Amino acid sequence: MKQKVLVLFLAVITLGLTSCNSNDDETGIVIDGIDLTKDVDCCSAEEALQVYKFIQTVKIIPELSTTVDDKYEVWAYSKTGTFHKGYNDLYFVVTKKKTGNYVKFFDIKNITPLMNMVKMNMWHSTPVGSSFEVFDTTLPAVKRGWVSFLMITSDAGSWQLSYDIDVLDSKGGLQNKGINVDDLPKGQDWLKSFKVGDETYYLSLVNPTDWKTGHNTIQAYVSKKNTPATTPYGLAKEQFTIEIDPRMPDMGNHTSPDNTPLTKQIDGSYSGNINLTMTGLWRIHLTVKDSKGNVVAGGDDLKEGFSSLYWDVTL
């Protein structure tokens, strides 16, 4: 709470004045004897206010927050402050302990989630995003990445997560920090796998809780299992096309019009369009094709006329 209150105070008193990145040496902002015009690592007042507003929409993950060199506070966030099976956005913010100012220049690296499968006496990782980057130019002090957890925490296995962070001239991070991964509510299933030969791929559906009835952009990632399995699963280099057939199993399996396949984008994600005409459970049947148009998953494994490879989304 300390960093939130201080940054809000800074943002409010400096709006309409000058920013802490200002090059104007004639006008300064001084709080507790600190001239913020000299703090070139921090955000402007306007940017700080936007960051403050953003972190009101997410919640801190206490177990992944830390301190670096007793100079910087590292704050980790997710939408709920927890993790669930499947796709999770993960955000990081860094502040200076001395001033509470948000720091723009830091890098999150080597994020490594690991599950200890107790009964099987083995460890494995899970799909992760390729990097943590600024995702909104109005939020230069917020870095976003993602993790898609294969399984929930249970008696059969537990999760831990490690990451490294570089903040200006300092280095730090967390190693093997225990985390909990919950199940999704009934009627939500956002992560599925398929095999091509000996290779295993994972389909992670991105944030369908943001969808509404009608037309929506549908986004997903295709990740490839690594060898060894303890290495985080990065984005698959192969190019696929993912055809979708949304049906309502509780309503006679009726479908909807105007859906388009997911195709690979420049950033490595897959994007298409889905039209959901009413609220309720939608089962999104998937047919995966390779770059030559050959069906590699879903189409040859039919159940009652539909692909048995599917995501479940309940509006």
Can you give the CATH number for the domain in which 240 is found? 2.60.40
Same domain, 164 and 286: no
Q: What's residue 43's pLDDT? A: 85
Q: Which token pair is 5?
A: 């209150």
* Number of domains, the chain: 2
Mean pLDDT (whole number) for 287-314? 87
- Region of poorest pLDDT, from 11-20, 133-142, 230-239: 11-20
Mean pLDDT, residues 285-295: 96
CA–centroid distance for 208 within its chain: 13
Are 241 and 256 in contact by the 8 Å Cβ rule? The answer is no
Residues 98 and 33 in one domain: yes
Distance CA 274, CA 91 (A): 27
Query: Which of 152, 182, 212 represents a domain boundary (last residue)?
Result: 182
**Quick one: 96 and 121 in the same domain?**
yes
Kindly state the average pLDDT of the residues 115-127: 94
> Same structural domain for residues 141 and 207?
no
Check pLDDT > 90 for residue 172: yes
Question: Letter for the amino acid at 270?
Answer: Y
Residues 46, 166, single domain; the answer is yes
Instruction: Say if residue 276 is in the same domain as residue 249.
Output: yes
Q: Per-residue pLDDT averaged across 77-101, rounded?
A: 96
CA nearest neighbour of 271 among 281, 283, 257, 261: 261
Residue that terminates a domain, selected from 118, 147, 182: 182
**CA angle in degrees (0–180, nearest 5) for 70-76-78:** 170
Q: How does the average pLDDT of the chain come out, rounded?
A: 89
Task: Judge if 101 and 219 occupy the same domain.
Answer: no
Residue finishing a domain among 157, 182, 207: 182
Q: How far apart are CA 132 and CA 107, in angstroms?
A: 7
Which domain does 206 fall in, by range?
A: 191-314
Q: What local confidence, expressed as pLDDT, does residue 58 receive?
A: 98
pLDDT band at 147 (very low <50, low <70, confident <90, very high): very high
141 with 219, same domain: the answer is no
pLDDT(5) > 70: no
Looking at the structure, do residues 58 and 159 belong to the same domain, yes or no? yes
pLDDT of residue 44: 87
Whether residues 251 and 268 share a domain: the answer is: yes
